[in-house]
């Protein structure tokens, strides 16, 4: 049986020579959250594979995570603490002891926080989902920053607009159970390159396809997924709201509606109906840059499911919400199933994220009570460039003086890199980075602290793409002097003089605490996963977790904030054809073999992606005298990025695809796509607008 030898959670990492398999969980920021089996012999992890006993993983890992041992034993793994010796950003460090590093960091933080009651706000944690683990993510670290009274971080960089859109419509990050997509008759894959970024969903979609379901992909890029669908609608970036409204227009005018569902389980239908009737297919087609007939055909397919009561399912992913109107667009798409009563079936409805379905005991893990009356400001991670450059003021409070980064690589992944880099380069900023590798961000650190990988620590995981909780056991001992994030914050807490007993909780205790009694911990220990007990068709009879219990087309909560209570199409900040200087829209979706900026330094995966690329349509390339393989300058008022052009059928006219997210220092001239993106925020949730970005492209004369 694939299992660690002992049921005792405190048993040490395996070190004998007979190969053993240890149950774990893939930690990466992906909806699939796979159950992983690591084969260990002589204390060395020799192989990782998907757990065949876990239904969603079904024995298969993606190409990237199959290379997890290559990443773990990478010759450039950080194995001991480092202290900066060169200028900021030069990446020059010398080895120091843990003791010296932690003592110096604690002294610096004490100096800042001892200046007055709210002075610790000058300290900012910066973290995201390098690991999705609840323990190595924000367990001990949150306790530490709460006790300190540091600025709070609004973790918006990925999912804020869509998350808020879902919450205002369905009541939370809730939706269909992923396994039931296999039984759908129609699947809309909307703003998701599932084959690259949600492979285990795609397996269910393929089952449906084999059983006769129609698959339609809605994406400006002819992605690997679009290739395998029956239809592809290549709309302009940021026009999904208009498409959804025109779809509603057609459902209404042909009466392809479930009136009973609308009457009993929705709120604001009359208002939404009136708005949708203003969006003829012709009007929307003009906005979306597509043919009105494509919209009519899409409506016929979706409407047919209303008439025949066949299950119609929509998989949205976060790709489509990284634009000005991303929140409203998600609201509109999440409203569609209610129009045709798709929620009546377990194989009907919509799924963007399932994360609110997990009963996480957040307060027990993160201990906001440690704030003890302090009310620190909250800063938005998506505008870190601006925040780092903001001087002290009455409105802002103190300038940021210390930054502690873990589970994130902001210098590469945050928008408008020129500002981010300028901020990180501040001589008067004290920066600590907990990392596996010397990333673009680590180059700017005053101290780099070596962190353990998933093979070396305990954790528990929720998922945003399925409804199983997972446990990760350590398979090997920490490499070099690396320590888990939790341990680093425990030791820092001790040096800060924090004496609350919660700073002594060990990782297994934290794992037990994460779900409390809501998930059977023994089941996690024995099987590595536990399926949540959720209804198969949660909204067949309404019961949405909204204030009204209905699907809220009209949101009184948004109206109370002075916003439009009804969703609408919100055009891009940098709308297509709005600038003669920058006539092309650029999106920067993930490269298949990277996970955001993780894995970019893993040789075998870098070899597959070759080099930073910009996909261009033949017409746009010809107009600029550009050929495949040419080095091009991609630029706008915010900056310039050099990469290779590829004339590709994957790009539609007017839109270029800059696949991301490369490390800046591995690019052609030390920048990546985020040199071009802006710090503008989405309509809802304060998210980033990576795909709302106009550029010009020219052949690079210098090359
Ligand atoms: N291989 C791989 N897998 C990943 C990731 C990765 O970097 N690499 N990233 C992970 C992360 S952090 C997340 S958040 C998830 C989801 O990750 P996402 O970043 O959402 O990734 P995709 O599913 O590829 O969705 C992006 C798709 O949306 C399309 N798109 C761009 N703009 C628009 C638009 O305006 N409208 C529409 N309809 N489509 C648009 C892009 O062309 C692309 O095909 O996946 C995770 N999985
Ligand atoms: N242009 C453009 N920019 C984007 C996107 C895009 O599509 N286009 N996607 C955006 C999205 S969706 C997201 S989610 C963000 C992602 O941004 P980030 O969350 O910053 O993700 P990564 O780039 O993967 O960097 C995570 C880092 O955490 C480190 N790490 C992993 N595990 C651990 C651990 O246990 N301990 C410590 N200390 N470190 C660890 C990894 O080594 C890695 O360097 O990027 C965003 N940026
Ligand atoms: Mo993300």
Alpha helices (H) in 341-429, listed in sequence order: 362-366, 384-389, 410-413, 417-424
pLDDT score for 16: 62
| Greater pLDDT, 606 or 58 | 58
pLDDT score for 10: 42
| Same domain assignment for residues 347 and 391 | no
Residue 701, pLDDT > 90, answer no
* Closest residue by Cα to residue 587 from 156, 81, 235: 235
Take residue 621 and report the two structure tokens written for it.
């390339």
In a 10 Å sphere around its CB, with 0-12 CB exposed, 13-18 middle and 19+ buried, how is residue 590 labelled?
Answer: middle
Question: Quick one: average pLDDT of 307-314?
Answer: 94
Place of tokens 């999912």: 159
CB–CB of 614/698 below 8 Å?
Answer: no
Q: Does 597 contact ligand 1 (Cβ within 6 A)?
A: no
| Same domain assignment for residues 113 and 66 | no
Q: How many CB atoms lie within 10 A of CB 60?
A: 15
Pairing relation of β-strands 402-406 and 266-267? Answer: unpaired
CB–CB of 525/9 below 8 Å?
Answer: yes
Q: Which residues on neighbouring strands pair with residue 273, listed in sequence order?
A: none
Ion ligand 3, residue ranges at CB < 5 A: 158
Residue nearest to atom 13 of ligand 1 (CA): 30
200-204, 301-305, 511-515, 603-607: lowest mean pLDDT where? 603-607
Is 672 a member of any domain? yes
Question: Could you tell me the distance, in angstroms and rounded to a whole number, from the CA of residue 361 to the centre of ligand 3?
Answer: 23
Q: Which residues contact 442 (CB under 8 A, 6 or more apart)?
A: 78, 91, 433, 435, 448
Residue 339, pLDDT > 80, answer yes
Length of the chain: 703
Is 18 a member of any domain? yes
Distance of CA 257 to the CA centre of its chain: 34
First to last CA, the chain: 57
Take residue 362 and report the two structure tokens written for it.
């957040």
Q: Which ligand 2 atom lies nearest to the CA of residue 453?
A: 35
Between CA 31 and CA 541 the distance in angstroms is 27
Pocket test residue of 26, 28, 30 for ligand 1, highest count of atoms within 8 A of CB: 30
| Same domain assignment for residues 344 and 387 | no
| Same domain assignment for residues 105 and 209 | no
| DSSP codes of every residue in 44-63 | EEEEEEE-TTSTTTTT---H
Provide the sign of the torsion angle of the four alpha carbons 260, 264, 266, 267, taken in this order.
positive
| Same domain assignment for residues 102 and 67 | no
Is 330 a member of any domain? yes
Question: Quick one: average pLDDT of 217-245?
Answer: 98
| Same domain assignment for residues 110 and 166 | no
Question: Could you tell me the distance, in angstroms and rounded to a whole number, from the CA of residue 158 to the centre of ligand 3?
Answer: 4
CB–CB of 298/666 below 8 Å?
Answer: no
The structure's pTM equals 0.96
Q: Domain containing 221 — which CATH number?
A: 3.40.228.10
Mean pLDDT of the chain: 95
CB–CB of 291/285 below 8 Å?
Answer: yes
CB–CB of 550/266 below 8 Å?
Answer: yes
Provide the sign of the torsion angle of the four alpha carbons 529, 533, 539, 543, taken in this order.
negative
Between CA 198 and CA 34 the distance in angstroms is 11
Provide the sign of the torsion angle of the four alpha carbons 485, 488, 490, 493, taken in this order.
negative
Residue 667, pLDDT > 80, answer yes
Place of tokens 């030390």: 670
Q: Which ligand 2 atom lies nearest to the CA of residue 407?
A: 28
Between CA 4 and CA 472 the distance in angstroms is 11
Domain limits at 251? 161-352
pLDDT score for 662: 93
Take residue 45 and report the two structure tokens written for it.
């992890």
Q: Does 464 contact ligand 1 (Cβ within 6 A)?
A: no
Pocket test residue of 597, 599, 641, 672 for ligand 2, highest count of atoms within 8 A of CB: 597
Residue 13, pLDDT > 60, answer no
Question: Could you tell me the distance, in angstroms and rounded to a whole number, from the CA of residue 215 to the centre of ligand 1?
Answer: 18
How many structural domains is the chain composed of?
A: 4
Q: Which ligand 1 atom lies nearest to the CA of residue 596?
A: 7
pLDDT score for 5: 38
Is 366 a member of any domain? no
Question: Could you tell me the distance, in angstroms and rounded to a whole number, from the CA of residue 434 to the centre of ligand 2?
Answer: 13
pLDDT score for 8: 43
Is 360 a member of any domain? no
3-class DSSP string for 622-653: HCCCCCCCCEEEEEECCEEEEEEEEECCCCCC
Q: Domain containing 444 — which CATH number?
A: 3.40.50.740
What DSSP state is assigned to residue 95?
Answer: E
CB–CB of 615/586 below 8 Å?
Answer: no
| Same domain assignment for residues 489 and 412 | yes
Residue range 589-611, pLDDT digits in tens: 998 889 999 989 988 888 888 88
- Helix (H) or strand (E) holding 168, with range, is helix 160-170
Q: Which ligand 2 atom lies nearest to the CA of residue 27?
A: 32
Is 603 a member of any domain? yes
Provide the sign of the torsion angle of the four alpha carbons 452, 454, 458, 464, taken in this order.
positive
Residue nearest to atom 47 of ligand 2 (CA): 413
Take residue 32 and report the two structure tokens written for it.
């699939």
Question: Could you tell me the distance, in angstroms and rounded to a whole number, from the CA of residue 173 to the centre of ligand 3?
Answer: 15
Q: Does 197 contact ligand 1 (Cβ within 6 A)?
A: yes
Between CA 306 and CA 213 the distance in angstroms is 15
* Closest residue by Cα to residue 634 from 642, 622, 625, 645: 642
Residue nearest to atom 12 of ligand 1 (CA): 29
pLDDT score for 12: 47
Q: How many helices and strands in the chain, by DSSP H and E? A: 24, 27
Query: Could you tell me the strand order of the sheet in which 468-472 lies?
Result: 459-461, 468-472, 529-531
In a 10 Å sphere around its CB, with 0-12 CB exposed, 13-18 middle and 19+ buried, how is residue 390 labelled?
Answer: middle
| Same domain assignment for residues 186 and 258 | yes
pLDDT score for 610: 83
| Same domain assignment for residues 135 and 168 | no
Which ligand sits nearest to residue 321's alpha carbon?
1
As a dihedral over the C-alpha atoms of residue 658, residue 661, residue 667, residue 669, rounded to 10 degrees, the angle is: 70
pLDDT score for 18: 86
Residue 651, pLDDT > 70, answer yes
pLDDT score for 606: 86
**DSSP three-state, residue 187:** strand
User: In whole angstroms, how far apart are CA 27 and each of 34, 171, 269?
Assistant: 8, 27, 41
| Same domain assignment for residues 213 and 341 | yes
Question: Could you tell me the distance, in angstroms and rounded to a whole number, from the CA of residue 42 to the centre of ligand 1?
Answer: 39
Is 531 a member of any domain? no
In a 10 Å sphere around its CB, with 0-12 CB exposed, 13-18 middle and 19+ buried, how is residue 530 labelled?
Answer: buried
| Same domain assignment for residues 196 and 288 | yes
Q: Does 552 contact ligand 1 (Cβ within 6 A)?
A: no
What b-and-e string marks burial along 632-665, b requiring 16 or more CB atoms within 10 Å of the CB? bbbbbebbbbbbbbbbbebbbebbbbbbbbbbbb
**DSSP three-state, residue 518:** helix
Residue 1, pLDDT > 60, answer no
Residue range 146-159, pLDDT digits in tens: 999 999 999 999 99
Q: Domain containing 627 — which CATH number?
A: 2.40.40.20
- Which residues contact ligand 2 via a Cβ below 6 A? 29, 128-131, 136, 157-158, 318, 406-409, 413, 434-437, 439, 451, 485, 588-590, 595-598, 660-661, 673-674, 677, 690
CB–CB of 128/157 below 8 Å?
Answer: yes
Is 558 a member of any domain? no
Q: Does 193 contact ligand 1 (Cβ within 6 A)?
A: yes
Pairing relation of β-strands 529-531 and 655-658? Answer: unpaired
Question: Quick one: average pLDDT of 390-408?
Answer: 97
Residue nearest to atom 14 of ligand 2 (CA): 158
Question: Quick one: average pLDDT of 108-114?
Answer: 97
Question: Could you tell me the distance, in angstroms and rounded to a whole number, from the CA of residue 382 to the centre of ligand 2?
Answer: 13
Question: Could you tell me the distance, in angstroms and rounded to a whole number, from the CA of residue 589 to the centre of ligand 1?
Answer: 5
CB–CB of 140/490 below 8 Å?
Answer: yes
| Same domain assignment for residues 442 and 479 | yes
DSSP3 helix / strand / coil % (the chain, rounded to 5): 35, 20, 45
Q: Does 131 contact ligand 1 (Cβ within 6 A)?
A: no
User: In whole angstroms, how far apart are CA 219 and each of 160, 654, 675?
Assistant: 20, 14, 24
Which ligand sits nearest to residue 651's alpha carbon?
1
């Amino acid at each position: 049986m694939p299992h660690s030898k002992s049921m005792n959670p405190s048993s040490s990492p395996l070190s004998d020579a007979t190969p053993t398999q240890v149950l774990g969980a893939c930690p990466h920021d992906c909806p699939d959250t796979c159950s992983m089996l690591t084969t260990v012999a002589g204390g060395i992890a020799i192989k990782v594979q998907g757990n065949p006993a876990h239904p969603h993983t079904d024995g298969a890992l993606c190409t990237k995570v199959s290379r997890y041992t290559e990443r773990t034993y990478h010759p450039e793994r950080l194995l001991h603490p480092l202290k900066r010796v060169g200028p900021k950003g030069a990446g020059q460090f010398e080895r120091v002891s843990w003791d010296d590093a932690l003592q110096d960091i604690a002294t610096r933080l004490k100096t800042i926080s001892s200046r007055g009651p709210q002075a610790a706000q000058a300290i900012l944690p910066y973290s995201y989902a390098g690991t999705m683990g609840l323990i190595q993510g924000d367990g001990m670290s949150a306790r530490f920053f709460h006790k300190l009274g540091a600025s709070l971080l609004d973790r918006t960089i990925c999912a804020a607009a869509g998350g808020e859109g879902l919450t205002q419509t369905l009541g939370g990050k809730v939706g269909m159970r992923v396994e039931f997509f296999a039984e759908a008759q129609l699947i809309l894959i909307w703003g998701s390159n599932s084959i690259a970024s949600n492979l285990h969903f795609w397996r269910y979609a393929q089952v449906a396809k084999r059983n006769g379901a129609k698959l339609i992909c809605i994406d400006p890029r002819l992605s690997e997924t679009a290739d395998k669908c029956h239809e592809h609608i290549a709309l302009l970036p940021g026009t999904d709201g208009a498409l959804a409204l025109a779809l509603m227009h057609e459902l209404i005018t042909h009466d392809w509606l479930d009136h009973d569902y609308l009457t009993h389980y929705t709120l604001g239908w009359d208002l939404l109906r009136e708005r949708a009737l203003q969006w003829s297919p012709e009007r929307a087609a003009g906005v979306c840059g597509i043919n009105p007939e494509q919209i009519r055909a899409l409506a016929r397919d979706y409407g047919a499911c209303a008439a025949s009561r066949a299950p119609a399912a929509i998989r949205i992913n976060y790709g489509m919400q990284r634009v000005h109107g991303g929140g409203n667009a998600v609201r509109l798409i999440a409203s569609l199933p209610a129009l045709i009563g798709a929620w009546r079936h377990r194989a009907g409805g919509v799924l963007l994220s399932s994360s609110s379905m997990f009963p996480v005991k957040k307060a027990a893990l993160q201990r906001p009570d440690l704030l003890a009356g302090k009310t620190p400001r909250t800063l938005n991670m998506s505008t870190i460039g601006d925040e780092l450059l903001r001087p002290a003021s009455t409105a802002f409070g103190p300038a940021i003086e210390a930054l502690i980064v873990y589970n994130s690589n902001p210098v590469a992944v945050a928008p408008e890199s020129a500002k981010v880099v300028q901020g990180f380069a501040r001589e008067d900023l004290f920066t600590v980075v907990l990392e596996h590798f010397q990333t673009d961000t680590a180059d700017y650190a005053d101290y780099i602290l070596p962190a353990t990988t998933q093979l070396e620590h305990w954790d528990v995981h929720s998922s945003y793409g399925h409804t199983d909780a997972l446990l990760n056991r350590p398979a090997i001992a920490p490499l070099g002097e690396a320590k888990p994030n939790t341990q680093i914050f425990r030791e820092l807490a001790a040096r800060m003089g924090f004496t609350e007993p919660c700073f002594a909780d060990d990782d297994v205790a934290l794992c037990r605490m994460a779900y409390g009694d809501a998930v059977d911990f023994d089941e996690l220990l024995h099987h590595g996963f536990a399926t949540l007990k959720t209804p198969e068709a949660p909204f067949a009879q309404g019961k949405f977790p909204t204030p009204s219990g209905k699907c809220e087309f009209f949101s009184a909560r948004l109206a109370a904030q002075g916003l439009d209570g009804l969703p609408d199409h919100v055009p891009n900040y940098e709308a297509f054809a709005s600038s003669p200087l920058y006539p092309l829209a650029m999106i920067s979706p993930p490269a298949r073999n990277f996970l955001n900026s993780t894995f970019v330094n893993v040789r075998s995966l870098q070899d597959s992606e070759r080099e930073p690329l910009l996909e261009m349509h033949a017409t746009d390339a010809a107009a600029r005298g550009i050929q495949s393989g040419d080095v091009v300058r991609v630029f706008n008022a915010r900056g310039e990025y050099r990469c290779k052009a590829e004339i590709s059928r994957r790009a539609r006219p007017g839109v270029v695809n800059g696949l991301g997210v490369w490390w800046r220092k591995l690019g052609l001239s030390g920048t990546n796509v985020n040199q071009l993106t802006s710090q503008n925020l989405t309509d809802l949730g304060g998210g980033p607008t990576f795909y709302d970005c106009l550029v010009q492209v020219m052949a690079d004369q210098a090359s």
